[in-house]
């Protein structure tokens, strides 16, 4: 047997398949022209980063809008970082954002013909490729210990040259297969390295979908492709998986740009077609005037769970991320009066490649728009689910009278210009708690924000008169009554009259309504007062007027 074959056999006796067999097992996909196969490939570290959600969303959108396939691949080869059980969390969190893979790893069984989709289940696939690379002399077992590698690094530091395992510094690169066989048989620990034919004095190029042509130093490092635990490194797994899963576009974070020459080197050595690369921008944060990546350690906004815990609708975060992805989205949403990102034609080519600054105000803006547009039943369910998980008191209120709460949520739903008070579900209860009589009593027990120019007597007299207000009438009729009460107490009957000579009146017409608002709601701002009064009903309104009158 030729020594390379013998070495390959000694290392991987259990591997019987060949690359050709894998090619047949995972044939090129039959997809329409332009359809993209994308993937999201997180590591199960127990944390869904906002930047990862962004990547997942872009990957799935590109696949969906091109009529392609979106895969979910679990990259669990770094066993030290893997958090058991977090694969399900990841999948659940993505599902909360409506991001569900067409194909991929699911804890209770893979879906799709290009799996397995969990890297730790693919060891034999990686080994099949490596076995063949070893036969061809394109990969080799390396016996360096961490101390040996340190030694090499020191020499390179002294010589002030590029660090790494390459060329003459790749100590075990030129051992003969016979020598390797002898060491393996003697029980020396090994890893497998890829034998690069590159030269870092030369340049290599690729066209990034977002950034255009990128030119970098060629790779000449003999990178580790199989670790001593029998699992591949990221570099090798990326090349093998994206080839055999027939990925057409690799959407991944921009931090992978510097390693791309390694991947190009391996794709070419294997004679495989290089997929398109789209390196997505990082989401940034301003920190003391400096831009930096959102940090898992320092920033609460780095965790997707933060937004869900705060009660942002998943849809709102997606809409916000879409506005980062394509800067024309915001204008589109205004022109089309729609925040439905599925209707928006996303263009990955138009993506900005400067990392966007995470902007809470912008998120709040989009979230208000999303919440205000939610159909009542959907909003009710979402708020109730949120309250059950995060706000016990609020949940109990809802349960005490769901129909009453629905009426509260429904205020201004049909209005052309509704108030947009809720940016997140946790904003709701503090704003609407005055609807519940015992909460109102607490509010009314404290100082209320009446205009200090109005005397106690004036307010008391107005309360008495407001008790006669009609219920079950349209807003105009009701407002006519408010006007009458106002006029009786010296308020102007129209804004025009008031503007002509403010000094002739106690206040404007809206000031008169404002007195009623403060009395009923405890605040100078609220949703439509007529609707509020209608929900509270005659008895509760009169009770409140009495309380204020006798304060
Ligand atoms: N597991 C890698 C990461 O989490 C995936 C990068 C890629 O998408 O290729 O960064």
Per-residue model confidence as pLDDT tens digits over 292-303: 999 999 999 999
Q: What whole-number distance in Å separates Cα of residue 78 and Cα of residue 82? A: 6
Residue 359 in tokens: 């902007």
Residue 127 in contact with ligand 1 by CB distance below 6 A: no
DSSP string over 88-154: HHHHHHHHHTT---SEE--TT--BSSS---BGGG-HHHHHHHHHHHHHTTSEEEE---HHHHHHHHH
Does the pLDDT at position 46 exceed 90?
Answer: no
CB atoms within 10 A of CB 495: 11
Q: Assign 3-class secondary structure to 54-102.
A: HHHHHHHHHHHHHCCEEEECECCCCCCCCCCCHHHHHHHHHHHCCCCCC
Residues 6+ apart with CB under 8 A from 34: 66, 67
| In contact, 210 and 4? CB cutoff 8 Å | no
Provide DSSP, 357-393: BP-HHHHHHHHHHHHHHS-HHHHHHHHHHHHHHH-HH
What local confidence, expressed as pLDDT, does residue 322 receive? Answer: 95
CB-based contacts of 517: which residues, under 8 Å, 6+ apart?
523, 524, 526, 529
The pLDDT value given to residue 454: 97
* 82 Cα to the center of ligand 1, angstroms: 14
pLDDT given for residue 287 in this prediction: 87
Q: Is the CB of 75 under 6 A from ligand 1?
A: yes
42 within ligand 1 shell (Cβ under 6 A): yes
pLDDT above 90: residue 85: no
Q: DSSP 3-state assignment of 494?
A: coil
Q: Which atom of ligand 1 is nearest to 39's Cα?
A: 8
Chain centroid to Cα 518, Å, comes to 40
Cα–Cα distance for residue pair 521/132, rounded to 1 Å: 76
Rounded to the nearest angstrom, the gap between the alpha carbon of residue 208 and the centroid of all alpha carbons in its chain is 23
pLDDT of residue 44: 92
pLDDT value at residue 410: 96
pLDDT at res. 81 = 87
Q: Can you tell me the distance from the alpha carbon of 119 to that of 286, in angstroms, rounded to the nearest whole number?
A: 36
Please provide the average confidence, as pLDDT, over all residues in the chain.
96
Q: Report whether residue 238 contacts ligand 1, using a CB cutoff of 6 Å.
A: yes
Instruction: Say yes or no to pLDDT of 371 above 90.
Output: yes
| Ligand 1, atom nearest to 251 Cα | 8
pLDDT value for 495: 87
Tell me: the pLDDT tens digits for 208-263? Answer: 999 999 999 999 999 999 999 999 999 999 999 999 999 999 999 999 999 999 99
Q: Which residue has the tokens 């872009």?
A: 58
What's the rounded Cα separation, in Å, for the pair 461 and 463?
5
Q: What is the pLDDT of residues 343-359, one digit of tens each?
A: 999 999 999 888 789 99
Report the atom number in ligand 1 closest to the C-alpha of 52.
4
Instruction: Give, in order, the Cα–Cα distances in Å from 373 to each of 319, 322, 412.
Output: 13, 18, 11
43 lines ligand 1 (CB under 6 A): yes
């Amino acid at each position: 047997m030729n020594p390379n074959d013998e070495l390959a056999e000694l290392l991987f006796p259990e591997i019987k398949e060949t690359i050709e067999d894998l090619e047949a097992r995972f044939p090129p996909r039959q997809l329409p022209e332009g359809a993209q196969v994308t993937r999201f490939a997180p590591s199960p570290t127990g944390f869904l980063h906002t930047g990862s959600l962004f990547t997942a969303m872009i990957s799935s959108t590109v696949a969906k809008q091109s009529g392609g396939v979106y895969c979910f691949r679990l990259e669990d080869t770094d066993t030290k970082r893997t958090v058991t059980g977090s694969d399900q969390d990841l999948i659940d969190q993505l599902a909360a954002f409506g991001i569900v893979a067409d194909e991929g790893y699911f804890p209770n069984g893979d879906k799709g013909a290009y799996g397995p989709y969990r890297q730790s289940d693919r060891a034999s696939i990686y080994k099949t490729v490596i076995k063949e690379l070893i036969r061809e002399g394109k990969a080799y077992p390396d016996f360096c210990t961490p101390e040996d590698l340190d030694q090499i690094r020191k020499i390179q530091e002294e010589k002030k040259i590029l660090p790494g395992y390459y060329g003459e510094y790749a100590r075990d690169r030129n051992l003969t297969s016979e020598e390797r066989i002898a060491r393996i048989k003697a029980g020396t620990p090994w890893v497998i390295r890829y034998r690069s034919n590159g030269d870092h004095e030369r340049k290599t190029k690729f066209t990034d979908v977002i950034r255009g042509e990128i030119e970098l130093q060629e790779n000449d490092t003999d990178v580790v492709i199989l670790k001593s635990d029998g699992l591949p490194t990221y570099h090798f797994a990326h090349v093998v998986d994206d080839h055999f899963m027939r990925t057409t576009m690799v959407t991944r974070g921009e931090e992978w740009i510097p390693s791309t020459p390694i991947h190009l080197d391996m794709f070419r050595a294997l004679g495989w077609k290089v997929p398109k690369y789209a390196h997505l921008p990082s989401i940034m944060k301003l920190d003391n005037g400096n831009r930096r990546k959102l940090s898992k350690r320092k920033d609460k906004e780095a965790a997707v769970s933060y937004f869900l815990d705060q009660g942002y609708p998943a849809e709102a975060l997606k809409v916000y991320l879409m506005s980062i992805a394509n800067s024309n989205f915001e204008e589109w949403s205004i022109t089309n009066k729609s925040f439905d990102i599925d209707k928006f034609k996303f263009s990955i080519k138009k993506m900005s490649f400067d990392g966007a600054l995470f902007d809470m105000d912008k998120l709040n803006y989009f979230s208000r728009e999303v919440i205000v547009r939610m159909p009542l039943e959907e909003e009710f369910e979402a708020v109730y689910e949120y309250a059950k998980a995060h706000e016990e008191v609020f949940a109990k209120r809802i349960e005490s009278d769901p129909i009453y709460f629905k009426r509260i949520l429904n205020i201004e739903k049909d209005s052309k210009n509704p108030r947009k008070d809720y940016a997140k579900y946790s904003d709701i209860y503090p704003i609407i708690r005055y609807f519940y009589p015992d909460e109102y009593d607490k509010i009314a027990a404290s100082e209320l924000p009446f205009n200090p120019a109005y005397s106690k007597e004036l307010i008391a007299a107005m309360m008495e008169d407001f008790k006669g207000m009609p219920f079950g009438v349209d807003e105009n009729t009701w407002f006519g009554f408010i006007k009458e009460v106002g006029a009786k107490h010296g308020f102007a009957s129209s804004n025009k009259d008031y503007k002509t000579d403010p000094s002739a009146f106690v206040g404007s017409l809206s000031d008169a309504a404002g007195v009623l608002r403060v009395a009923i709601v405890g605040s100078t701002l609220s949703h439509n007062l007529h609707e509020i009064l209608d929900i509270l009903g005659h008895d509760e309104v009169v009770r409140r007027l009495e309380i204020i009158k006798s304060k």
